[in-house]
Structure 1
Amino acid sequence: MKISTKGRYALLLIIDLAQHQDEGFVSLKEIANRQGISKKYLEQIVIPLNQAHMLSSNRGSQGGYRLIENPRTISVYDILSATEECMLPVSCLETGNHLCDRENQCMIKWMWEGLSEVTQDYLKSISLQDLVDHTTPSKQTR
């Protein structure tokens, strides 16, 4: 599994919102400036996060975005699964994907399933609050 730029920037966007949640709605312009990410790109990233019911938005001069849930209840897996097309290590694990002629006699599919399970469990074990607690401005990277 390779996490795309969209997924990595989604994590930065969500961390920024969590760090500034006491300020109410936070504009994408502010986040873009703090994180060094294009506002246009952030506009694309908030769409799936809104659809996953992680964000609330407000229009107008006091507009912007804020988290709907407590950062302790949002996992890294939640964020990435909302923004990544696929969270599986190999395409043969995708539901309904029968591209492999060896699917029924595959000797290593169990290994890929195990890797997927371990990866998901790990990402589910890290909350947004964990990221906030371990993030300082000097440690943030893209």
Structure 2
Amino acid sequence: MKISTKGRYGLTIMMELAKKNGEGPTSLKLIAQTNGLSEHYLEQLIAPLRNAGLVKSIRGAYGGYILGDEPTKITAGDIIRVLEGPISPVEGIEDEEPAKKHLWMRIRDAVKEVLDSTTLEDLANYTDDGAADGYMFYI
């Protein structure tokens, strides 16, 4: 499965709201400016997130958006499913021969495990300590 800009930018919106959780509403304009994204495009993405209860809108001059729940209770999987649909590496998995079907199901389950075990709090508080790029080569 390939995550489109809908999923990527949706995660960006949600991470920004998680970083500002408890500080009051955040405008899409601020999120767009901070991340160099189109405010118009973010407006299209916020509606399904709001309909799913992942965000709440606050009206008024100082309005904007807040998370619909605590950052520890919202997962990357919740967001991706709302914006991208079901998580599946291939379509028509039911029609595959058993060996390939088993492979696709294992891949699907592994992706689901990562997305469903990663919370917004994890993403918002992530710091790159260089551990992911920990390979050192000596010649």
With normalisation by structure 1, the TM-score equals 0.83
Give the deviation of 1:104 after TM superposition.
7.0
Alignment of 1:24-63 (within 5 A): 24-63=24-63
Give the deviation of 1:85 after TM superposition.
3.4
| Corresponding residue of 2:105 | 113
Sequence identity (%): 39
| Corresponding residue of 1:140 | none
Comparing 31-40 with 104-113, greater Cα deviation is found at: 104-113
* Gapped regions of structure 1 (runs ≥ 5): 137-142
Give the deviation of 1:21 after TM superposition.
1.8
Give the deviation of 1:135 after TM superposition.
4.8
Distance change in 2, residues 1:106/1:70 (3 Å):
same
| Corresponding residue of 2:11 | 11
Comparing 80-89 with 105-114, greater Cα deviation is found at: 105-114
Q: How many residues align?
A: 128
In 2: Cα distance, 1:132 partner to 1:8 partner: 14
Matched residue SS, 1:22: coil
Segments of 4+ in structure 1 off by > 4 A? Answer: none
Give the deviation of 1:2 after TM superposition.
0.3
In 1: Cα distance, 2:46 partner to 2:122 partner: 21
In 2: Cα distance, 1:123 partner to 1:18 partner: 17
Comparing 25-34 with 84-93, greater Cα deviation is found at: 84-93
Matched residue SS, 1:116: helix
Matched residue SS, 1:56: strand
In 2: Cα distance, 1:22 partner to 1:86 partner: 31
Q: CA RMSD in A?
A: 1.7
Deviations 1:93-119 (A, max 9, x none): 3xxxx7xxxx27443111111110111
With normalisation by structure 2, the TM-score equals 0.85
Matched residue SS, 1:89: coil
In 1: Cα distance, 2:79 partner to 2:51 partner: 11
